[in-house]
Amino acid sequence: MRLEVDDDELAACVSCGLCLPHCPTYRVTGEESASPRGRIAAMRAVHAGAEAGPAFTSFMDLCVQCRGCEAACPSGVPFGRLMEGARRTLVAERRYQPWWRRAGYRLLGHHRLLLAASSAAALAQRAGLVPARLGLPRLPVRRPRLDASGTDAWLFTGCVMDAWMRPTHAAALRAMEATGAGVTPVGAGCCGALAEHAGLAEVAGGQAARVVASMTGTAPVVVDSAGCGAVMKDYGRLLGTPGAQAFAGRVMDVSEWLATRPLPTGRRLPLRVAVQDPCHLRHVQRAHAHVRTVLTPYVEEVVELDDDGLCCGAGGAYATVHPDMAARIRALKLEAIAGARPDVVASSNPGCAMHLAAAGVVVRHPVEIIAEALGGPEALGG
């Protein structure tokens, strides 16, 4: 089975193994099949004609797509692209994503429907109808309104995050506006990241095109979800149009954008904050340093986790699809957090935040901490 990957990129891995310790699934299992090097070797074997049986699919499927391997690889192997290519081929030739997963990814693009479904689930939760083992956070029945204040920057609000964690967007708006900018929040449904990672290129492309069309002009497109930001910065490749390329160039993580602004004065909160770097901020956008820059003035102490940015196991939809592996990976992160003894963990990605919160960690988005330090009239409690 020929995989939809570039031959040279597939050949670039020299099997040195330097990526192994940075791979969460390898850390947990110790198996080559769950490592970047092994996954690449399996892709090569299949690409060269070996049978792509259930083993191959499961090796590919167990990857979190955290791309910790990519940042660690001295040979510059573009692992994310290889994995997406392999999954696209599996989708096309092996019915890799079952209908219910595909339907789920599609729903994310239909924002009103998603909001309604989420509110219904929230009510069901209140009525005790949602089993706790699904690991859902407490869903909001009502959400705060987000109002536009100007046109200096856009704030992209996304899909699930908007439905479940809108107070984080409110905090982002508050922090951005405090720097003197006028901001317009835009919800245009899912950015396409989840579908892209699943190998559903068509679904992802449709969603991406809708997002590009929703934020015209030249103002920066600010994103407070690291996973969304990462794929939006890659729209040029995903859509292959000059317009998408130009759009991608305007995308910034909210901390990255704040770091370019004069930071407003605020209180210094008596908190020891451990920064958890979402993989797609650290390994993909490589913009994680800004989080420290913008948090430092507002808290007593910013501390690092001693795990080289190893993935927490959330991985977008991963924790839903592979709850056991996600929990085993999370256990490593919990150890690192315990070692840092923080009052609160700052995470710039809603998926990571929910995944860690489900294990009892106190997690907040950096902008929520900043917004609290800035004080003000807004009711920011979530």
Partner 1 sequence: MRTLLEDLTAALGAGAVKGDPLELALYARDASVMEGSAGCVCFPTDAAQVQAVVGVARAHGRSVVPRGSGTGLAGGAVPIGKPGAEPVVVVTTRMNRILSVDAAARTAWVEPGVLNLDLSRAVAHLGLHFAPDPSSQQACSVGGNVANNSGGPHCLAYGVTTAHVLAVEVVLSDGSVARLGGTDPDPTGYDLRGAFVGSEGTMGLATAVLVRLTPLPPAVRTLLADFPSAESAAETVSAVIAAGVVPAALEMMDQRITVAVEDFVHAGFPTDAAAVLLAEIDGLPGGVDAAVATVVELARRHGARQVRVAADEAERALLWKGRKSAFGAVARIAPDYYLHDAVVPRTRLSEVLQRVYEIADANHVGVMNVFHAGDGNLHPLFLFDRRVPGALERVHEAAGEVLRICLDAGGVLSGEHGIGLEKRDYMPLLFSEDDLAAQDALRRAFDPERLFNPDKVLPSGSRCGDIRSLPEGVWV
Ligand X SMILES: Cc1cc2nc3c(=O)[nH]c(=O)nc-3n(C[C@H](O)[C@H](O)[C@H](O)COP(=O)(O)OP(=O)(O)OC[C@H]3O[C@@H](n4cnc5c(N)ncnc54)[C@H](O)[C@@H]3O)c2cc1C
Which residues sit at the interface with ligand SF4, rule CB under 6 A?
Answer: 13-19, 22-25, 36-37, 39-40, 63-69, 73, 75, 77, 79, 311
Residues near partner 1, by CB under 8 A: 8, 11-21, 29-33, 37-38, 41-42, 45-46, 50-51, 53, 55-56, 59, 73-77, 306
Q: How big is the chain by its Cα radius of gyration, in Å?
A: 20
Phi/psi at 157 (nearest 5 deg)?
A: -105, -15
Nearer to ligand SF4, 67 or 174 (CB): 67
Nearer to ligand X, 72 or 311 (CB): 72
What is residue 21's DSSP assignment?
A: G
Phi/psi at 275 (nearest 5 deg)?
A: -90, 125
CB of 39 to ligand SF4, least distance (A): 5
**Residue the block writes with tokens 């959400």:** 143
316 binds, among ligand X, ligand SF4, partner 1, none (CB under 5 to 8 A by kind): none
Rounded distance, CA 146 to CA 173, Å? Answer: 8
CB of 293 to ligand SF4, least distance (A): 26
CB of 79 to ligand SF4, least distance (A): 5
CB of 72 to partner 1, least distance (A): 8
Looking at beta carbons, which residue is closest to ligand X?
16
290 binds, among partner 1, ligand X, ligand SF4, none (CB under 5 to 8 A by kind): none
Nearer to ligand SF4, 25 or 347 (CB): 25
Rounded distance, CA 92 to CA 94, Å? Answer: 6
Stretch that binds ligand X, among 10-18, 20-28, 98-106, 126-134 (CB under 6 A): 10-18
- Under 8 Å between Cβ of 259 and 293: yes
Binders of ligand X in range 12-51 (CB under 6 A): 16-18
Rounded distance, CA 310 to CA 193, Å? Answer: 20
Nearer to ligand X, 27 or 87 (CB): 27
Rounded distance, CA 79 to CA 37, Å? Answer: 10
* Sign, Cα dihedral of 216, 220, 223, 229: positive
Using CA atoms, how far residue 167 sits from 45, 130, 140, 197, 265, in Å, is: 48, 23, 10, 27, 22
CB of 4 to partner 1, least distance (A): 19
> How many CB atoms neighbour CB 217 within 10 A?
8
User: What is the helix, strand, coil percentage profile of the chain, to 5?
Assistant: 55, 10, 40
CB of 176 to partner 1, least distance (A): 30
Residue type, 19: C
378 binds, among ligand SF4, ligand X, partner 1, none (CB under 5 to 8 A by kind): none
For binding to ligand X (CB under 6 A), which residues are involved? Answer: 16-18
